[in-house]
Amino acid sequence: MAAGRSECDKDIKLIEKCPKDSLPKVIHGFLDEICGQNVLRFHDFSKVWSIEEWKQLKSSWSSCLRLFIKDNLSVENIEKQLDQFSISKDIQKIVSECLRPRKDEIRLALIEETCNLSQAILKDFDWKLKLIMATDKLANMREPVLSLDLDIKEKTGMKQVSVELSKDELKELITSLEAANKVVLQLKG
């Protein structure tokens, strides 16, 4: 996680200003924000941090928590990473206790966030195999062609796209879809 370390170590130590009894609320609040739920308000913590510190803290911890989940770190590895940032053992334990039961929820939220970057989503498809028969001039021409209908959901509604693919074009499409599937499987971890 050396590349990710630079993203989260700058302001991560600001968490140490938080009273220990409020720390689980803060960490769960950061996790809630990642999951698209309630947003923590500065007003609730204005006695602990300045507005600038609050923004830095939220940004730093959001990056760290995302990286911990993305890299599928174990509790021990999370604590090791936090130890590298000189975060106290008490805080490490609280972070681990907050993160452990919500790992799957956060991973799904991150995957959904990634999927929502696209403006169009494939909802359904239908296919038919056609055989192009020869004309009288090309007596031996029998070429299979795949007719593919894609139902795509866009922000404006459903759209249907129809394409015909030769054997070579179909192979290219399958290769592209397999590569995309590998990326999705890696994201799911």
Give the model's pLDDT for residue 139.
57
Query: In this predicted model, what pLDDT tens digit does every residue of 95-129 receive, in sequence order?
Result: 999 999 999 999 998 888 877 777 787 888 899 99
- How far apart are alpha carbons 82 and 5 in whole angstroms? 10
Give the model's pLDDT for residue 36.
84
Give the model's pLDDT for residue 138.
58
Give the model's pLDDT for residue 188.
75
DSSP conformation letters of 51-72: HHHHHHHHHHHHHHHHHHHHTT
3-state secondary structure at position 132: strand
CATH class in words for 121-188: alpha beta
Tokens 């907050």 found at: 98
Give the model's pLDDT for residue 2.
44
DSSP code, position 21:
T
Which residues, 6+ apart, have CB-to-CB distance to 29 below 8 Å? 38, 39, 40
Tell me which amino acid residue 181 is. Answer: N
Q: Which helix (H) or strand (E) holds 45?
A: none
CA atoms within 13 A on the CB side of 53: 13
Are the C-beta atoms of residues 92 and 85 closer than 8 Å to each other? no
Residues of the chain with pLDDT under 70: 1-10, 134-141, 189
- This model's pTM is above 0.75: no
- Listed by start position, the domains of the chain span 2-117, 121-188
Question: CA angle 148-151-157, nearest 5°?
Answer: 155
